[in-house]
Structure 1
Amino acid sequence: MNDTHEQPPPPDWRVLAVGGASGTGKTTVSRALARRFAVPVVEVDDIVEALLAVTRPEHLPEVHIWRTHPEAALQAPESVVERQIAIARALAPAVEAVVANHVDTDTPVIVEGDYLLPDLVNSLDGVRAVLVHEDDEAQVTANYLAREPEAGPQHHRARVSVLYGRWLADRARTLGVPVVAPRPWSDLPHRVGWAVGEHALS
């Protein structure tokens, strides 16, 4: 039996970085692409949890901020965004180490997360990046409500997401990283594939 047509073509990247603010659909599209290419997904949130387990707040205060100062998440959205940017920058060396390991060992992977900086694409060969950005605050609020109905409408969190997403999108465009709108959801994996040059996505 010939399974040739059932096997996905190998990607021409070793790491596909899918960034974007919370509540924009990047996790869903990352999993769809992982199935398409038969590669695993590494979530930046897992890197965060690992660092929280092996460091103290005095070592990485930015990474520990939401645990040491939970009230900080309730500050003005602009202040929360500044903290998120600081966290992303503090995490960058750890994320880059994971990415470099996959490049060096030639093991393709999709890396996704809120704290994934677009700068990553310029750090190593074999890395592609795309940013998923939703600029409609009402839509992000609806996304959160669908995902976490027990929390009710999370307007403050949605505002933070949009503002942080705008900062990421501006940074991405400056670096030449494609920015993709999540809607319509039905063809998001296809559009992300085109954005990073994988034109054979079905």
Structure 2
Amino acid sequence: MNGSDEVREYPDWRVLVVGGASGMGKTGVARTLARRYGVPVVEVDDIVEALLAVTLPEHLPAVHFWRTHPEAARQAPESVVERQIAVAEALAPAIEAVVANHVGTDTPVVLEGDYVLPGLVRPGGPVRAVFLHEDDEEQVTANYLHREPEAGPQRHRARVSVLYGRWLAEQARTAAVPVVSPRPWENLADRVRSATDVRARARSES
């Protein structure tokens, strides 16, 4: 049964996190799940933009880094990944505040973005998460080419994405957060739901 055929179900979580590196399909599956559950989507990119608008680089240098050092995106992939991790760690308090607000006000939401870290999740609690990871650089390159054909093959960006994704996947597994392959795309939403929905897992195990 696909998402359009299912009866809308009230989630057994308050925040569903869809994390992972860029180019993994997070936005698409987050929107699909949001429609399925009848809840809004919060994009971490919007949190970043809000912080950039109300702070100066000296207040949050890591969050402002890509704007103050645009040339750094062309550095070796390993160096770019280190910067991405630093940004994610700097953003963690703001993301945690958004999550706590939705839990405290009992307003379910799907939260998606590159900079979400697995550490804010407690398995089985009101905050659930899944991290998407594609380890094939050629596939990630193809994903970018499909999404942004005018940019041509973005191989450096795909390499960065895979390396950062590996780091996130390792952190997720350490925190007992499920890591899911984006492919096959056709049933990704169902696989994410099964990985994060306690009731779905109970039904599948019965």
User: Which residue identity does 2:200 align to in structure 1?
Assistant: H
Q: Return the offset for 1:117.
A: 0.4
- Going from structure 1 to structure 2, the CA distance change for 1:123 and 1:59 (only over 3 Å counts) comes to farther
Distance 1:123 1:101, change over 3 A: farther
Question: Equivalent residues in 2 for 1:93-132 (5 A)?
Answer: 93-122=93-122, 125-132=125-132
* Residues 20 and 131, structure 1, Cα contact 8 Å, conserved in 2: yes
Residue 18 of structure 1: CA displacement?
Answer: 0.5
Is residue 199 of structure 1 aligned with residue 183 of structure 2?
Answer: no
Q: Is 1:62 the equivalent of 2:56?
A: no
Match of 1:174 in 2: 174
Counterpart of 1:175 in structure 2: which amino acid?
A: A
Q: Secondary structure at the match of 1:199?
A: helix
Secondary structure in 1 aligned to 2:58? coil
Q: How far apart are the structure 2 equivalents of 1:43 and 1:123?
A: 22
Matches within 5 A, 1:30-49: 30-49=30-49
Contact 2:9 2:36 in 1 (8 A): no
Q: Is the 8 A contact 1:100 1:124 kept in 2?
A: no
Structure 1: gaps of 5 or more residues = none
* Residue pair 1:8, 1:36 contacting (<8 A) in 2 also: yes
- CA distance in structure 1 between the partners assigned to 2:6 and 2:43 by the alignment: 27
Residue of structure 2 equivalent to 1:12: 12
Structure 1 residue 9, shift from structure 2 partner: 1.7
CA–CA distance in 1 between the matches of 2:139 and 2:116?
22
Please, what is the CA RMSD of the aligned residues? Answer: 1.8
1:6 Cα deviation (Å)? 7.4
Deviation at 1:122, TM superposition (A): 3.1
After TM superposition, give the deviation of residue 120 of structure 1 in Å. Answer: 1.3
2-side partners of 1:130 and 1:97: how far apart?
Answer: 19
Deviation at 1:146, TM superposition (A): 0.4
Equivalent residue, structure 1, for 2:73: 73
**C-alpha distance 37-71 of structure 1, shift in aligned 2 (>3 A):** same
Give yes or no for contact 2:123–2:177 (8 Å, CA) kept in 1.
no
Normalised TM-score (structure 1) = 0.94
Whole-angstrom distance in 2 between the partners of 1:123 and 1:9: 20
* Cα deviation digits, residues 165-202 of structure 1 (max 9, x gap): 000000000000000000000000000000012529xx
* Distance (whole Å) between structure 1 residues aligned to residue 40 and residue 47 of structure 2: 15
Task: Provide the identity percentage.
Answer: 74
Is structure 2 residue 148 aligned with structure 1 residue 148?
Answer: yes
Q: Distance in 2 between matches of 1:178 and 1:112?
A: 15
The verdict on how the C-alpha distance between 1:123 and 1:54 changes in structure 2, with shifts beyond 3 A counting, is: farther
Q: Which runs of 5+ in 2 are unaligned?
A: 202-206
